[in-house]
Chains A and B, each alone.
Chain A
Amino acid sequence: MSIMALTPPPIPRDGPLLRVDRLRQWFSSGGFMSPRLTVRAVEDVTFEIGRGEILGLVGESGSGKSTLGRAVLRVTDLTDGRVVFDGQDVSTLSKRQLRPLRARMQMIFQDPFASLNPRMTVGQIVGAPLRIQNPGISRSEVEARVGDALRTVGLADSHAERYPHEFSGGQRQRIGIARAFVLAPDFLVADEPVSALDVSIQAQVVNLLMEIKRKLDLTILFISHDLAVVGHVCDRVAVMYLGRIVEIADTRTLFRNPRHPYTEALFSAVPVADPSRRRQRILLKGDLPSPLAPPSGCAFRTRCRYAIPACAEAVPPLAHIGGGHQKACIRDDLALQPAC
């Protein structure tokens, strides 16, 4: 009998890469000598991301998109709920236990000026993941892999000697991307990766990201408030409002057939490149309510034009309405305006 027959078969890699179950992320301030305030940044969020999938996460500023992205990567200690990464529950792992997993999950940041250490050369920045994850790695191997990474993102080997301030915003974002994938991760959280860039550069960076995604078979959580970009790159989209996911569906379904009033309002703000088409702009009144004191029942009811008294009674659950489409709205009788 050969040795091959004795080794167990590889664990089948099926099921979603990431499963988030009733995740809560609260932040408290004060406590000693001052009243304790609790911000419920992320509240009861449940979703999955399949392998190789790009899930978009949209919502206005303050809706908890970035907090959710960071919680999923276990940058913070979760208040409640579970995050299961590739079958492994990571919700309560310590910093040390998380370390080996870090190589498989990475992040791209919004601000390409704040996300690169100004005192390090580009080579040091892109090489840091390799050094931290493999303490014994040789200098020549780091250099070779950094060079590969830089060339992949459209920079030259020689750029490794330079400092971040010598690059433009788009180039810096490329450096950030090189750092994120130099370890060949499986999962990437892209937190508004292009919103700080000039429109002319955005497409280049998005295309670069998609190219790398195909190459590494990446799974991506793509956080953005730019619906055009999200519609272009994402397989599925989740809409967040005040810390909760209010609707989630595959991109086409969501854009053609939104079922939550907030999604409709968001879509009405997307410009359409067709001057002959007229459609109603839905202007939301007021600001996002404070997450310190969210409204009772449905958090969106204070700004929703379809709100009825029943909306104030209970938080609407994120319910399946067929075809993987989920929405958190008690009104099933609405005919909402699509995005396109």
Chain B
Amino acid sequence: MSSATVAAAVLPNRRLAGTSPRSRAWGRFKRHRLAMFGSGVILVLVFAVIFGPMILPFDPLHIDLRHRFAPPPGNGHLFGTDQLGRDLLVRLLMAGRISLTIGFMAMVVSTLIGTSVGVTAGYYGGLVGTVLMRIVDAVLCFPSVFLLLALAAFIKPSILTITLIIAATGWMEVARVVQAQIKALRHRDFILAAEMLGASGRYVMTRELLPNAAGPIIVAATLTVARAILAEAYVSFLGYGIQAPTASWGNMLNNAQQYLNSAPWLAIFPGLMITLAVTSFNFIGDGLRDALDARMDLT
């Protein structure tokens, strides 16, 4: 028996394993170890940044010059202190609140923009689709770091503006993925069936097409969180992002530059946090890509 016939014999049974597409996808996700690890890390991180600062007995802005540059783990400061004697752990967690919030919010905004553009371009196609996708290409051609910095130089930095700036440079990827998926689904018979019932364009886009593009959208959104966290770190590292004394992982790295030799932990911990968060989101994205692969459901 050829491998193709074996696969054909095995696949239908596997498809019957769950009832809804969602539960089958969850089953596949659970088998993806790195993605489960990533989800665990993100969960811990989220809990830590929410509740950590409440539990720790330090104020992230409290300056204590007598205990500056305390190496970890010292004087009750588990991760040491910075050049002003502020507790590094509590600052890392507070910075995590900012960085993760910006990451998630930028993801939501860019996913909304990207999905709307992608669905519209994919559904209508023709002139509308071409114009929209050429705009996407044009924005994509622009070096995003440069765009980020140029925008950040003109707009007063705050969490909201940084989020919007990052979202403005991150929605194109989602738009492309969604447009490709919608275009592929556009001429399937079930869409024709809906149109044959007199369904409006809005109905077809939101009820029939969008749920079938949910997988790629979720994957792209997850990867966008990772990219947004990195983007926030770039901008803040270069001094255009979140401003002192508010901490973000990026501006903590910026501060640490001067003390790389004398106090390397000031750079290592924020760097680790960024790496951990970004790789975790990327792992989750990979796992979701496998779990939500449209080919598993769209026979």
Contact = CB atoms under 8 A, between A and B. Distances in A.
Interface of A: 70, 73, 75, 95, 98-100, 102-103, 105-107, 109-111, 113-120, 128-129, 132-133, 162-163, 165-166, 176, 179
B73 interface: no
Contacts of A73: 196
Nearest to A105: B196
B145 to A, nearest CB: 34
Contact of A109 (B19, B193, B198, B212): B193
B187 to A, nearest CB: 10
Interface of B: 15-16, 19-21, 188-190, 192-199, 203, 208, 211-212, 214, 297-299
Nearest to B193: A115
A132 B203 contact: yes
Given A99-B198, A132-B197, A118 B298 contact: yes
B189 A109 contact: yes
Contacts of B195: 75
22 contacts: A102-B198, A103-B198, A111-B189, A114-B189, A115-B188, A115-B190, A117-B190, A117-B194, A117-B212, A118-B297, A118-B298, A119-B21, A119-B212, A119-B214, A128-B194, A128-B199, A132-B197, A163-B19, A163-B21, A165-B299, A166-B19, A179-B193
B298 A132 contact: no
A44 to B, nearest CB: 25
A109 B197 CA distance: 14
Nearest to B195: A75
- Top-6 shortest CB links A-B: A99-B198, A102-B198, A115-B189, A119-B211, A117-B190, A114-B189
A49 B102 CA distance: 63
Contact of A133 (B192, B198, B208, B211): B198
Contacts of A107: 192-193, 196
B193 A163 contact: no
A75 B194 CA distance: 11
Given A110-B189, A116-B190, A118-B212, 6 more contacts: A75-B192, A115-B193, A128-B194, A133-B198, A165-B297, A166-B16
Which of A100, A105, A109 has the most chain B CB within a 10 Å cutoff?
A109
Nearest to A121: B20
Nearest to B215: A119
Which of A103, A109, A119, A163 has the most chain B CB within a 10 Å cutoff?
A119
A309 to B, nearest CB: 42
Contacts of B193: 107, 109, 115, 176, 179
Contacts of B194: 117, 128, 132
A118 B21 contact: yes
Nearest to A116: B190
B19 to A, nearest CB: 7
Given A163-B19, A163-B21, A132 B199 contact: yes
Contacts of A176: 193
A110 B198 CA distance: 20
A114 B184 CA distance: 12
Given A113-B299, A165-B299, A133 B197 contact: yes
Given A117-B190, A118-B297, A132-B203, A165 B15 contact: yes
A339 B188 CA distance: 36
A111 B214 CA distance: 23
Contact of A162 (B19, B199, B211, B298): B19
Nearest to B18: A163
Nearest to A165: B15
Contacts of B188: 114-115
B70 to A, nearest CB: 56
A75 B298 contact: no
A162 B203 CA distance: 22
A76 B211 CA distance: 25
Contact of B190 (A70, A75, A95, A114): A114
A110 B298 CA distance: 16
Nearest to B214: A119
Contacts of B197: 102, 128-129, 132-133
A17 to B, nearest CB: 17
A115 B197 CA distance: 13
A145 to B, nearest CB: 14
A102 B15 CA distance: 35
A314 B198 CA distance: 41
A103 B196 CA distance: 9
Contacts of B203: 132
A106 B198 CA distance: 10
Contact of B196 (A75, A111, A120, A163): A75
A236 B198 CA distance: 29
B284 to A, nearest CB: 22
A70 B187 CA distance: 13
A312 B21 CA distance: 57
Contacts of B297: 118-119, 165
Which of B196, B198, B299 has the most chain A CB within a 10 Å cutoff?
B196
A225 B248 CA distance: 68
Nearest to B15: A165
A143 B92 CA distance: 54
B299 A118 contact: yes
B115 to A, nearest CB: 16
Contacts of A113: 299
Contacts of A109: 189, 192-193
Contacts of B192: 70, 75, 107, 109, 115
A132 B190 CA distance: 14
B37 to A, nearest CB: 29
